[in-house]
């Protein structure tokens, strides 16, 4: 019930294309959904996060779409660039029970020039 | 400034050694975390400190011993580790554990190799 399933495991996109990574969760009590970006040898960096009271959040080229009824959320990277090549992790957490992020398994994104 | 610093960057230790990992943040955050990350896997939570008190221990073996000497510092003491403990050890911090303040900011990690 606390799993977060992330797909695909790896993704190759051409420069300028749209990268889409999907996550599905089971526990309807989750109410905080961040995405992290991690470059090799570095720690994860928060990219964008959403709460279930909104269906979409956009920051620059990055957009989270959230479907509460389907218990799914996704990250869209518009105009993908080679510098976006990294591993992306979605995560879920319970509001006001901070401390425990439930991570997806990660997606390795490669953007080809 | 959302910087969490960790030292050392790399550490090689034998199974009988004792070593410590250090983490520091100056964002005024009152929650700090230790994670372990294996290659091509997500971070796994080990410990959470809130207001310098241990809040969560994810059943971590006693050869890992956390310490929070003040609100800015977090240590992880290592003793009698096994080769399978080799991993990237990540520190993170957040404003607190309260709803709306739980965004975690990660440090660059310490790459640990146990021989």
Three-class HEC string of chain A: CCCEEEECCEEEEECCCCEEEEEEECCCCEEEEEEEEECCCCCCEEEEEECCCCCEEEECCEEEEEECCCCEEEEEECCCCHHHCEEEEEEEEECCCCCCCEECCCEEEEEEC
Q: What is the pLDDT of residue A30?
A: 87
The minimum CA-CA distance between B6 and chain A, rounded to whole Å, is 10
**Model pLDDT for residues B99-113, shown as the tens digit of each residue:** 777 889 999 999 999
Q: Above 80 in pLDDT, residue A12?
A: yes
Give B-chain residues touching A92 at CB under 8 angstroms. none
The minimum CA-CA distance between A54 and chain B, rounded to whole Å, is 15
**Model pLDDT for residues A45-71, shown as the tens digit of each residue:** 999 999 888 999 999 999 999 999 999
Q: For a pLDDT cut of 90, what percent of chain B falls above it?
A: 83
Question: Are the C-beta atoms of A92 and A30 separated by less than 8 Å?
Answer: yes
Q: Above 90 in pLDDT, residue A1?
A: no
Q: Is B43 in contact with A103 (Cβ distance < 8 A)?
A: yes
State phi, psi for A83 to the nearest 5 degrees. -70, -10
Neighbours of B1 (CB within 10 A): 6
**Model pLDDT for residues A37-50, shown as the tens digit of each residue:** 999 989 999 999 99
Q: What is the pLDDT of residue A96?
A: 63
Give A-chain residues touching B45 at CB under 8 angstroms. 99-101
Q: Is A41 in contact with B31 (Cβ distance < 8 A)?
A: no
Q: Is A98 in contact with B97 (Cβ distance < 8 A)?
A: yes
Q: Is B97 in contact with A103 (Cβ distance < 8 A)?
A: no
The minimum CA-CA distance between A103 and chain B, rounded to whole Å, is 6
The minimum CA-CA distance between A109 and chain B, rounded to whole Å, is 12
Give A-chain residues touching B111 at CB under 8 angstroms. 41
The pLDDT confidence band at residue A74, using thresholds 50, 70 and 90, is: very high
Q: Is B97 in contact with A34 (Cβ distance < 8 A)?
A: no
Q: What is the pLDDT of residue B47?
A: 95
């Amino acid at each position: 019930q606390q799993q977060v399933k992330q797909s695909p495991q790896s993704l190759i996109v051409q420069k300028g294309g749209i990268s889409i990574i999907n996550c599905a969760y089971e526990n309807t009590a989750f109410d905080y959904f961040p995405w992290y970006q991690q470059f090799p040898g570095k720690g994860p960096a928060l990219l964008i996060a959403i709460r279930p009271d909104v269906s979409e959040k956009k920051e620059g080229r990055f957009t989270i779409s959230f479907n509460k009824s389907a218990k799914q959320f996704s990250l869209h990277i518009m105009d993908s660039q080679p510098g976006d090549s990294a591993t992306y992790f979605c995560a879920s957490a319970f509001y006001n029970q901070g401390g425990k992020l439930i991570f997806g398994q990660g997606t390795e994104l490669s953007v080809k020039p | 400034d959302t910087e969490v610093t960790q030292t050392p960057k790399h550490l090689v230790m034998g199974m009988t050694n004792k070593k410590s990992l250090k983490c520091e943040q100056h964002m005024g955050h009152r929650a700090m975390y230790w994670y372990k990350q294996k290659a091509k896997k997500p971070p796994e939570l080990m410990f959470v400190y809130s207001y310098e008190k241990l809040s969560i221990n994810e059943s971590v073996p006693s050869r890992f011993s956390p310490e929070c000497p003040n609100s800015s510092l977090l240590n992880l003491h290592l003793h009698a580790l096994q080769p399978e403990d080799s991993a990237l050890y990540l520190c993170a911090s957040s404003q607190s554990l309260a709803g709306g303040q739980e965004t975690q900011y990660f440090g660059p990690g310490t790459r640990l190799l146990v021989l």
